[in-house]
Amino acid sequence: MDKQKVVTASTPRTLGYYRAEVLIVLGLSLGQSAVYAVVNLLEKMTRAPLASQTTTLNPVLNQREVFDFVYQMLGIIFALVPVALVLFLLTSAGQSAFRSIGFTFSRPRVDFGLGFLLALAMGAGTLAVYAAGRALGITTAIVPAALDEYWWTVPVLVLSALRHAILEEVVMVGYLFNRFAKFGWGIWTTIFVSAALRGTYHLYQGIGPGIGNFLMGLVFGYVYTKVKRVMPLVVAHALLDIAGFVGYALVGPAIGIGT
């Protein structure tokens, strides 16, 4: 009986198992966000022209300071649960999930150097796509942060940026690239599907951001296939969001950014 249990426990996971696992993970995280984003975009398009509407990324969650802070922190913490889930699923006997997808600080020069360069390139591209989208009327006015001014506003915005960076890059790149490889998918199919999902869950901001994030996903996916590390992508994504969130909170309204 004991011998039979050992054999059963060591049976390789099937392709169907991995497909179901991916669907569950996406259903609990960014796949769910993609569905809501599509519905939200349709609702906006049937209400009024996209150019006349505004999307707020970090809104106030409660009018009372202490409860706003609590809700902001709870949102950040629970949004990272899918990251814990995929790291658990990627962990295998004798191999750390952190090391297998390069979510470590073992190569700081590569991670921060490449991350900084990617942030510069993607930042310029993001501004160009946003400006083009606004000019074409396919992008809403984006307000990166609308929190009230408290002592914790900037730290929470930084944590929010880190939340987005870790969630998206670990799940959409580190996890999905691993699982898509088990499906037998080629590199470019994997990159394209991951990028398409990334673009889809940003559609609530308008068609322009969907296209921009799809292109960003192509670049990030290609870079990952070369360096086999998600940390440079996390660094780049975090720098982009920190600049957008904190920069807007500090100077955006005063100079009319987001209109």
Contact 139, 50 (CB under 8 A): yes
The pLDDT of residue 3 is 44
Q: Where are the beta strands (DSSP E) in 123-179?
A: 141-143
Q: What is the pLDDT of residue 5?
A: 41
* Per-residue b or e along 151-185, where b marks 16 or more CB atoms closer than 10 Å to that residue's CB: eebbebbebbbbbbbbbbbbbbbbbbbbbbeeeeb
The span from the CA of 171 to the CA of 173, in Å, is 6
As averages over each run of 10 residues, the pLDDT of the chain (259 residues) reads 40 84 97 98 96 96 97 98 97 86 95 98 95 96 93 97 98 97 96 98 97 98 97 98 93 55
| Inter-residue contact 182 to 15 (CB < 8 Å) | yes
DSSP state, residue 123 = H
Using CA atoms, how far apart are residues 183 and 176, in angstroms rounded to an integer? Answer: 10
pLDDT at 259: 46
* Distance between CA atoms of residues 247 and 257, nearest Å: 10
Three-state helix/strand/coil letters over 185-228: CCHHHHHHHHHHHHHHCCHHHEHHHHHHHHHHHHHHHHHHHHHC
Dist. CA 224–CA 84, nearest whole Å = 20
With contact defined as beta carbons under 8 Å apart, do 164 and 244 qualify?
Answer: no
